[in-house]
Amino acid sequence: MSSKNANILNSLLLTLILAISTDSSIAASPPETQDTKSSAAKHDTPQSPIWMERDLDLTSVYVQQQAILRVRVYHAIPLYDDSQLSPLRLDHAEIEPLGSAIASETLVNGQRYGMIETRYSIFPQEPGVLNIKAQTFTGTTPDSTRNTLQRIQLNSSDLKLIVRPKPTEYPAQAPWLPARHITLEEAWSPTQESQILGTAFSRRLRLQAQGLTAAQLPSLDTPELPGVRYYPDQPRLTNQVTEYGVLGAREMRSLLIPIRAGSFSTPATELIWWNTQEDRLERIQIPNRHWNIRDNNPVVAQTIVPPPTPQALATSKGSGLAENTQIWMWQLSTLLFACTSILGFGLWWRARHQPAISTRLISDEAPKQLLLEALRLACLRNDPQGSRQALDAWARQQPETLANMAARFSPLSEALNALNGALYSEAGQRWQGDALWEAINGLPPRLQEGQEQTQSTLPPLYPQ
């Protein structure tokens, strides 16, 4: 074989191995990796068709602080979809995968390489040195020289992470919260400080931390207040994957219903946390709120009858009709008693022949139409207890909570406030169920995420 033909054959083989471009020169210097959207970065691994690297964003963290481990596989040869990375297992540490592996492309010394990146959030649980053991990458690539498949296996090196104990200046009684950033938000509905008795107050607290999971966030429940009934909802925990790792959130909703007129205050809420960016103690505080509850029941004026004067008593005693008046009153009372008995018997007889629907006996598993019918009848009877029971049974079969429905539909929120006022007010209020039934019947359907609200009129929940 001539030297010219040998050079051509070597060039073709190198092109197949690298599978990138017609430029098949090999540099002996360490590769210089450059992402198309970032500046160049140096690597200590010699240039080859495929290699693996791991690094940590931090070399030293506090206990339970997040450290991000990045595992990257660079390849200039084609890989099949059977590529796998061995699981990450650590002692005395919690691991949170940051999504699935991401495939992208970078430039290494002017050559295009594929890159497979996998990220983990690591939360050490004990002070000391955390040993992050090696991981293995396996994959399959075509062998152009033998027209077969070639199995590839790459092993990374071990990593060390220094874990420091909690700072001594951090309060011992406060939950330990080492985070990059923390926010605490509060929202009330209604927002006006002066309300009538029976109004239900909805409170929402949202705690969000960059670098902590939702399970690490503490509960911030509203304490019990005198003269106020407290109904907490189940907390909503969510975790999101961001550029800086885990973004944990804890949302707490509660319902507060005053049961007597006057004023009450919710105490201030303070949260202590450790800023890992500035390495210092931070505090977040929500001020207290004052509410003035007034009674909307009018004061009924009572007429005070003055005692009879001696002259009136003398005139009464001097009347000659006293005995006849007593006989007439006895006859009248007997007649009224007879009429009342007949009327009561007639109502009892009529009730026996009418079907009775008891909202107390309706279970949550009953059909939705039956629950809706029970709610309608209870509203028509102006029965606050029965309406509340039927409403709760119907709401448990809906895709969203009753609080969410009231938050997005103001007529339902107002009707619920009136119902709660009739149920929980110590003074007691006369309740009319028309408003609640109209609000339920006119409740618009919940829009899905990304769905735009149309102008068309939707049919009511319960057809007339």
- pLDDT tens-place string over residues 12-25: 333 433 333 333 33
Locate all alpha helices (DSSP H) within 318-396, ordered by sequence. Answer: 322-352, 368-380, 384-395
**Identity (one letter) of the amino acid at 420?**
N
Integer Cα distance of 292 and 171 in angstroms: 35
Neighbours of 134 (CB within 10 A): 12
According to DSSP, the residues that pair with 228 across neighbouring strands are 258
Integer Cα distance of 375 and 388 in angstroms: 8
* DSSP label at residue 169: T
Integer Cα distance of 389 and 393 in angstroms: 6
Task: Judge: domain 32-164, CATH 2.30.30.
Answer: no
Q: What is the 3-state secondary structure (H, E, C) of 124-148?
A: ECCCEEEEECCCEEEEEEEECCCCE
* DSSP label at residue 80: -
User: Given this model, what pLDDT does residue 271 score?
Assistant: 96
* 78 contacts 152 by C-beta, under 8 angstroms: no
**What is 178-294's CATH topology?**
Immunoglobulin-like (2.60.40)
Q: What are phi and psi of 370, to 5 degrees?
A: -65, -40
Is pLDDT of 104 > 50? yes
Neighbours of 99 (CB within 10 A): 8
Is pLDDT of 211 > 60? yes
For residue 310, what are its two tokens?
Answer: 């001696």
Q: Is there a shared CATH topology between the 32-164 domain and the 178-294 domain?
A: yes
- pLDDT tens-place string over residues 142-166: 887 777 888 999 999 999 999 999 9
Q: Are strands 102-108 and 136-143 parallel, antiparallel or unpaired?
A: unpaired
Q: Which residue has the tokens 């969000």?
A: 208
- pLDDT tens-place string over residues 428-463: 668 899 999 999 988 898 766 555 444 434 444 444
Q: Which of 247-251, 293-297, 333-337, 422-426 has the lowest mean pLDDT?
A: 333-337
For residue 141, what are its two tokens?
Answer: 């690539």
For residue 16, what are its two tokens?
Answer: 């197949």
pLDDT band at 1 (very low <50, low <70, confident <90, very high): very low
Q: What are phi and psi of 447, to 5 degrees?
A: -80, 135
User: Given this model, what pLDDT does residue 299 score?
Assistant: 47
Q: Name the helix (H) or strand (E) containing 11.
A: helix 3-18
- Taking only Cα atoms into account, the Rg of the chain, rounded to an integer number of angstroms, comes to 38
Question: Which residues lie below 8 Å from residue 421, measured CB to CB, with a gap of 6+?
Answer: 196, 197, 198, 199, 429, 431
Integer Cα distance of 93 and 126 in angstroms: 8
Q: Where are the domains of the chain?
A: 32-164, 178-294, 359-441
